[in-house]
């Protein structure tokens, strides 16, 4: 479970860094200096996080459900007397 979470977070940070650099180049070339650049970054970062959470949600849920099923399987095994004797 930790490995899945680490992979999701690392891919999210890598892609957010790439998108932030692309957004910087876009702002540099398209927007006048008089406009509020900080709001553009804040809105773009929020949009990126929403997109990544939608993309990585199925992977996270599969990992979570497999972890939960292992916990129940292990506790069921020990409850039936299959533990240490």
What SS3 class is residue 57?
helix
Specify the pLDDT at position 24: 83
Phi and psi, residue 31, nearest 5°: -105, 140
Query: What is the band of 79 on the pLDDT scale with cuts at 50, 70, 90?
Result: low
Rounded to 10 deg, the angle between the 37-79 and 2-30 helix axes is: 170
pLDDT digits (tens, 9 = 90+) for 14-37: 988 898 888 888 887 877 766 677
- Write down the pTM of the prediction: 0.54
């Amino acid at each position: 479970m930790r490995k899945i979470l680490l992979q999701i977070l690392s891919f999210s940070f890598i892609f957010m860094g790439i998108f932030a650099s692309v957004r910087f180049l876009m702002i540099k070339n398209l927007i006048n200096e008089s406009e509020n650049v900080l709001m553009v970054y804040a809105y773009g970062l929020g949009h990126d996080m929403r997109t990544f959470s939608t993309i990585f949600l199925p992977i996270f849920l599969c990992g979570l459900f497999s972890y939960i099923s292992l916990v129940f399987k292990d506790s069921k095994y020990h409850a039936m007397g299959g533990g240490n004797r």
